[in-house]
């Protein structure tokens, strides 16, 4: 089963502030999306809207062509997981898997147990007694084993340690290949997840700054490095996102991509062109000086 998610001019406002503003985007089956944004950018709110935790103030959301809010057909096929507060939860982790097995039509119990073993997650220990990293692992196990056509993971991996995060990323890649669906990974820790993402949605202060394939997103930026005067001359008419200087050497991050003749001109001027990591681009596009260039 595959489903398509469409958001059209979606806004969500509280009494005091606009949290999500005019977001239009489409999520296609079989794709892994990175929902990037700084703290408070509106990532959780956007995912909560897709998961029908609340309704948009304006605009429409459609999953498989239907409004998902209070939709009994669609609800079991949307899985939204986030860092929940387990401090009062005295049941073992196995109870959570049993609940998912009861209510989720595609839940794979054997795969859940396999993942739990992979993450070294004890299923018989009360969840409140697990470390925050293992609680996050439980969320990840459920998120993947539910195999919902629309899987929304909101920074659940943030509390996991590095080995488990790596295991999770590998599991996402493998399971996405076996059971293609929409997976949205929201994060502000971009560097280590970059290779997972097919598509990037960059949210900043509630607005969608970028919605494009990951390769095209990283091609938005090019570093130009060399003797300061030569660099200044080369970037004269370009949008500058960031500048670094060390002695007489200067490195400037400009918006890309560059045409072939521009690359040749850079080489003739003794300049080195480099690619930009998603993390760097994310930082520069979402800081005050960078956001105006997006």
Partner 1 sequence: MPERLPVRRMLTADAVNIQFRWSLWFVLIMYPILAFLEAELFFATNLPDDLSFRSFLVEPGKIYMLIIGIIFPLAYFRFFLSQGLTRRVFYQANTAAAAIVSTALIVTLFLLSWVLQLLFGFADGWLTAGAAPFPGLPDTALVQVGAASLVFFQYYMVGWLIPACFLRGGGWMGAASIVGGLLFMSATDSLMQQASLYPAELLVPAGDLSLSPWVVGLLQGVLTAALLAAVWIVLRRMPLKAG
- CA distances to 70, 82, 143, 180, 230 from 114, rounded to whole Å, are 33, 21, 14, 19, 57
- 81 lies in the site for partner 1, by CB under 8 A: yes
Q: Least Å distance between CB 108 and partner 1?
A: 11
Binding mask 23-62 for partner 1 (x = CB under 8 A): ---------------------xx-xx--xxxxx-------
- 86 lies in the site for partner 1, by CB under 8 A: no
- 189 lies in the site for partner 1, by CB under 8 A: no
Orientation of helix 132-145 relative to helix 162-178, angle to 10°: 0
Cα-Cα-Cα-Cα dihedral of 20, 25, 30, 32, to 10°?
-50
# of chain residues touching partner 1 (CB under 8 A): 32
Q: Least Å distance between CB 242 and partner 1?
A: 31
- State which of residues 105, 163, 257, 274 lies at the interface with partner 1 (CB under 8 A): 105
- CA distances to 157, 190, 286 from 37, rounded to whole Å, are 15, 9, 8
Spatial contact of 31 and 39, defined as CB atoms under 8 Å apart: no
Q: Least Å distance between CB 93 and partner 1?
A: 14
- 82 lies in the site for partner 1, by CB under 8 A: yes
- CA distances to 93, 136, 142, 147 from 165, rounded to whole Å, are 19, 10, 15, 19
Contact region with partner 1 (CB under 8 A), list: 103-111, 237-245, 246-254, 274-282:
103-111
- 78 lies in the site for partner 1, by CB under 8 A: yes
Pairing of strands 150-154, 182-187: parallel
Q: How far apart are CA 49 and CA 56, in angstroms?
A: 7
- 188 lies in the site for partner 1, by CB under 8 A: no
Binding site for partner 1 (CB under 8 A): 44-45, 47-48, 51-55, 70-72, 75-85, 88, 99-100, 102-105, 148, 154
């Amino acid at each position: 089963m595959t489903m398509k998610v469409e958001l059209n001019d979606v806004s969500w406002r509280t009494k005091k502030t606009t949290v999500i503003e005019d977001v239009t985007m489409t999520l296609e089956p079989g794709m892994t999306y990175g929902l990037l944004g700084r703290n408070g950018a509106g990532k959780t709110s956007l995912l909560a809207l897709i998961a029908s935790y609340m309704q948009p103030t304006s605009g429409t959301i459609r999953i498989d062509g239907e409004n998902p809010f209070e939709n009994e057909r669609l609800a079991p096929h949307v899985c939204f997981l986030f860092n929940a507060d387990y401090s009062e939860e005295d049941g073992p982790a196995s109870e959570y898997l049993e609940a998912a097995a009861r209510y989720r039509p595609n839940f794979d119990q054997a795969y859940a147990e396999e993942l739990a073993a992979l993450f070294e997650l004890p299923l018989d220990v009360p969840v409140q007694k697990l470390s925050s990293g293992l609680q996050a692992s439980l969320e990840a196990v459920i998120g993947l084993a539910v195999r919902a056509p629309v899987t929304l993971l909101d920074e659940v991996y943030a509390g996991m340690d590095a080995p488990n995060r790596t295991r999770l990323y590998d599991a996402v890649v493998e399971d996405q290949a076996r059971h293609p669906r929409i997976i949205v990974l929201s994060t502000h820790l971009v560097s280590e997840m970059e290779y997972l993402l097919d598509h990037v949605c960059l949210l900043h202060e509630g607005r969608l700054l970028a919605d494009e394939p990951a390769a095209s997103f990283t091609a938005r930026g090019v570093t130009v490095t060399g003797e300061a005067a030569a660099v200044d001359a080369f970037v004269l008419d370009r949008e500058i996102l960031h500048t670094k200087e060390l002695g007489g050497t200067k490195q400037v991050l400009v918006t890309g991509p560059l045409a072939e003749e521009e690359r040749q001109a850079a080489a003739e001027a003794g300049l080195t062109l480099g690619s930009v990591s998603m993390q760097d681009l994310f930082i520069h596009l979402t800081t005050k000086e960078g956001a105006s260039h997006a």
